[in-house]
Amino acid sequence: MKVAIIGGGPAGLATLRFLAHAHEHFPIPPIEVRLFEAEAQVGGTFSYRVYEDAELVSSKYLTAFSDFRLPNDAPDFVTPKVYVQYLKDYIAHFNLGSMIELKTKVAEVRRGPANFGHIIDLSSESGPFRWECDAVAVCSGINVNPIIPYIEGIERIGTVIHSSRLKSRAQFGENTNVYIMGAGETGMDLAYLAVTSAAKTVTLCHRDGFFCAPKIIPMPQVMGRGKSTIPNKPVDTSVASLFDTAYVHPKLQRSQLLWTYYDRWIKYMHKMISGTEEGPDQWVGQMSPSRKYMDSILLCKSDKALPYLNVGKRSKSLANRIRSSFMNVKIKDTGGKKIDVMTWPESIDSDGILQFKKEITDDTTIPKEQLKPDVLVFATGYTREFPFLDNDYPSVSQTNVRGIYKEGDVTLGYIGFVRPAIGAIPPLAELQAQLWVLRLLQHEYPNEVPVTRDPNAVKPYDLDYQLHPRGSYSFFETKRAVDHESYAYQLALDMGSAARALHVMKKG
């Protein structure tokens, strides 16, 4: 069997690892696998769309693959450079290098004659070539094609760039009015870079608020004392799975009860330690009540900008003063610097001044001269595009088998296109790759890889793993957003790798 993998990021490398070693675990001949990467090195976004001071928002404990961990002496949150080196070490550890073809761009993928197999047209430094194969794994990533929303009059601003092109503080210029458009993790990172640069003012614009859940929850000070600087554990290591997704009755797991509990607990905890339920010490960027619920939110785990956003915005009410006298997160001194927060502009007038809807209440009232940006950065994410795929292939939204492939068409798989609310894409991509490779082998080698289950495996059932639509937002539809633990356990159930509780206890 021949399989092509498109993309040399974490998802592509995990898929390559399981295909390349499948014959060691099943009585099948070795699979001929070729991974095609358009760039000069592996890593994808982690190699080519990073900026100054960037570090991962998921911890090394969760981000690493299951059978090859990050070094023990690595920090909890590694830089993109360290992570790319980890991926290169992963390649060396599993002897995958000979199967990777760099600087090789996929021009077109189409069905073979009579819809049998796939034909791929490619180009490399040696020129164009063609390869025919039995299956294709699309692993080109979710952060490739920038989204640049249209704002009337945008051409009147001197410098307009997408976050994918911003690399350092120097690009903000000196004595400038900087606007960051978007309040996701990249937007927060860039707002922090801007406020610690030579810019004069920094303003962050959002559409309908954000919910900040820092990657490390700060330790509150009690009665003004305590070593609140003691680092807490990464938040993604505290997400429950035992008796929440694993070993819980299916009806309870699919009910709203668990989500209601988490929603109330998280908001209550934030309120207790900082006075606001949005996030620890988040006093701006409130979401509309119709969608501020944990079952529908993509949490923002970047919090470096948060102290600058809150300057002058913390509540001075008697109740909050009493609460903070007993318990509060430590307030960082920003040295007089701040980040203003506004809603999304409607247009830009002939003088280059941002115009906002009158009925929308902004978090900040700012001087008119600050409403004229010198530098505007779109931190508005990316869109999924696959220009190399022929039109008769199913799209990502049509993949009805766990968001990986379309039922009846297992020879085309999409790996790495789900996004967890709290979690990391690489470990989910690893599980997706395992399930897809297993189903592909069962399709191609039905006698050698039969559809059987270990008697010690939990019987499969459907979990509630998709983020729920609320208000006018549906992040599963637009971003394939999932609850990390629920989705991971779903894939384990599907593969038959979720062990029964009694079997686990027998192992000690």
Written as one string, the DSSP assignment of 29-54 is: PPPEEEEE-SSSSS-THHHHS--TT-
Phi, psi of 45 (to 5 degrees): -55, -35
At 239 the pLDDT is 75
At 231 the pLDDT is 66
CA–CA gap between residue 435 and residue 341 (Å, rounded): 44
Query: Across-strand partners of 159?
Result: 375
CA–CA gap between residue 157 and residue 349 (Å, rounded): 10
Q: Residue 274's Cα: distance from chain center in Å? A: 26
The domains of the chain, with CATH numbers, are 2-145+382-451 (3.50.50.60), 154-378 (no CATH)
**Mean pLDDT per 10-residue interval, the chain, length 508 residues:** 98 98 97 98 92 94 96 95 97 98 98 95 97 98 88 96 96 98 96 98 95 86 66 81 84 90 92 90 92 93 94 94 92 94 95 81 72 97 93 95 97 97 95 98 95 91 95 92 95 95 85
At 364 the pLDDT is 60
CA–CA gap between residue 382 and residue 141 (Å, rounded): 10
CA–CA gap between residue 57 and residue 45 (Å, rounded): 14
Burial of 170 (0-12, 13-18, 19+ CB in 10 A): exposed
CA–CA gap between residue 190 and residue 381 (Å, rounded): 13
CB of 31 closer than 8 Å to CB of 1: yes
At 24 the pLDDT is 97
Per-residue CA distances from 499 to 240, 293, 491, 495 (Å):
17, 32, 13, 11
Question: Which pTM value belongs to this model?
Answer: 0.94
At 363 the pLDDT is 58
CB of 383 closer than 8 Å to CB of 141: no
Strand ranges of the sheet holding 127-133, from the earlier edge strand across to the other edge: 105-111, 118-124, 127-133
Residues contacting 65, CB < 8 A, separation 6+: 10, 14, 17, 90, 426, 427, 430
Helix (H, G, I), strand (E, B) or coil at 355: strand
At 245 the pLDDT is 85
Helix (H, G, I), strand (E, B) or coil at 23: helix
At 419 the pLDDT is 95
Question: What does the DSSP 8-state code read for residue 282?
Answer: -
At 230 the pLDDT is 57
Contacts of range 494-499, beta carbons closer than 8 Å, 24 or more positions apart: 494/402, 494/435, 494/460, 495/434, 495/435, 495/438, 496/453, 496/454, 496/457, 496/460, 497/434, 497/457, 498/246, 498/457, 498/458, 499/456, 499/457, 499/458
- Which residue type does 145 have? N
CA–CA gap between residue 339 and residue 205 (Å, rounded): 10
- Which residue type does 475 have? F
Q: How large is the greatest C-alpha to C-alpha distance in the chain, in angstroms?
A: 75
String of b and e for 178-209 (b: at least 16 CB within 10 Å)? bbbbbbbbbbbbbbbbbbbbebebbbbbbebb
Q: Which two tokens stand for residue 446?
A: 């039905």
At 113 the pLDDT is 94
Q: Which two tokens stand for residue 40?
A: 């000069």
User: Taking Cα atoms as reference points, which of 118, 124, 128, 122 lies closest to residue 2?
Assistant: 118
- Which residue type does 29 have? P
Query: Across-strand partners of 307?
Result: none
Q: What is the DSSP string of 145-208?
A: EE-----BTGGGSSEEEEGGG--SGGGG-SS-EEEEE--SHHHHHHHHHHHTTT-SEEEEEESS
